A = this chain, B = another copy of it.
Amino acid sequence: MSFSVTILGSSSAKPTIDRHPSAQVVNIHEQHYLVDAGEGTQQQLIRYGINPLKIREVFISHLHGDHCFGLFPLLSTLGLYGRRTPLRIHAPAPFGEILAAHLRYFDTALPYEVEWVETDTTKHRLLFENRTIEVWSIPLRHRVPCAGFLFREKEPPLNVDKFAIARHALSIAQITAAKRGEDVWLESGERLSNDRLTYRPYAPRAYAYLSDTNFSAKATNLCRGVDLLYHEATYAAAEQRTARDRGHSTTLDAAKAALKAEAGRLVIGHYSSRYKELAPLVEEARSLFPESYPAVEGRTFTIEKSGPQRRTAPASEHP
């Protein structure tokens, strides 16, 4: 039941020798979601051992080239790899036109379908869900329409305590009812409340991606309690004015967001090419939010499960 984020790109618009423009892969339960796709994404996927064919869904925050120029070559190469599974791309308008032009000029015979779903960057909306996760848009404050993304695990199915099963000699039907969250009646007429029988195997985990943006209290609120927060930090704290004027954030903006959101950990990235060393940027963020880490390409941030979380009374109840 993996939940991790692998950094593929960490630079802002001008790449450097070592830093590619924005791209990440979020891996939740071995389903891979591509978040932004700057130039070089397909090669970065291969470099870090992620099979490009495994990409299940794509989320593009906004239509600046450093967040999407790597998507088009990837679409072409997926065709050469023989992908058959349709690929859905969430992106703001007018991505549909851009995609249509790409397909017309470069990929008229793609062996799989590409579907565009428009993101309304002004709304906090559910973009995608399956049995185990939800992905929500988070409106951001950039120079062009831009949305971040919140990846959130759904509540996992309850586990039934094996000692409770033994002690009360529960039938299959009773166990199934308990798993559904129901109370159970014993033959004796006793009613066992569900919270004495079951526990949550782990707390649902959450990751939020906020790039590109000025500090936004609203966006921060929508990320409350995430285990991991990626927040762009294009500039050092000294460049506060530049950051604000260009719709970007500083290290301290990012740290403030993590603090206010009560995030578990913060990852900063989208560094301006002017910064050769990342350590001073990380230090700035840590001065406000100690659990700050740099986005480094190839690095995977794993969110471990915390749990199992007993909902029943203390251990003394068990034999």
Give me the interface of A with B, judged by CB distance under 8 Å.
13-17, 20-21, 39-40, 42-43, 46-47, 63-66, 69-70, 72-73, 76-77, 80-81, 94, 97-98, 101, 105-106
Contacts and interface: CB of A to CB of B under 8 A. Distances in A.
A69 B73 contact: yes
Nearest to A100: B101
Most buried by B among A43, A64, A76: A43
24 contacts: A13-B76, A13-B80, A14-B77, A15-B43, A15-B46, A16-B46, A17-B43, A20-B43, A21-B73, A39-B39, A39-B42, A39-B43, A39-B73, A40-B43, A63-B105, A63-B106, A64-B106, A65-B73, A65-B106, A69-B69, A69-B73, A69-B76, A94-B105, A98-B101
Contact of A98 (B14, B46, B105): B105
Contacts of A73: 21, 39, 65-66, 69
A47 B77 contact: no
B39 A70 contact: yes
What are the 9 A-B residue pairs with the smallest beta carbon separation, nearest first? A39-B73, A69-B73, A101-B101, A65-B76, A17-B47, A15-B43, A65-B106, A98-B105, A40-B40
B105 A13 contact: no
Contacts of A63: 105-106
- List the number of copies, as a whole number: 2
Contacts of A70: 39
A105 B93 CA distance: 11
A53 to B, nearest CB: 12
Contacts of A40: 39-40, 43
A77 B13 contact: yes
Nearest to A105: B98
A175 to B, nearest CB: 49
A72 B14 CA distance: 13
Contacts of A97: 105
B65 A14 contact: no
A89 to B, nearest CB: 15
A77 to B, nearest CB: 6
B46 A17 contact: yes
Contacts of A64: 106
A104 to B, nearest CB: 9
A215 B70 CA distance: 32
Nearest to A49: B17
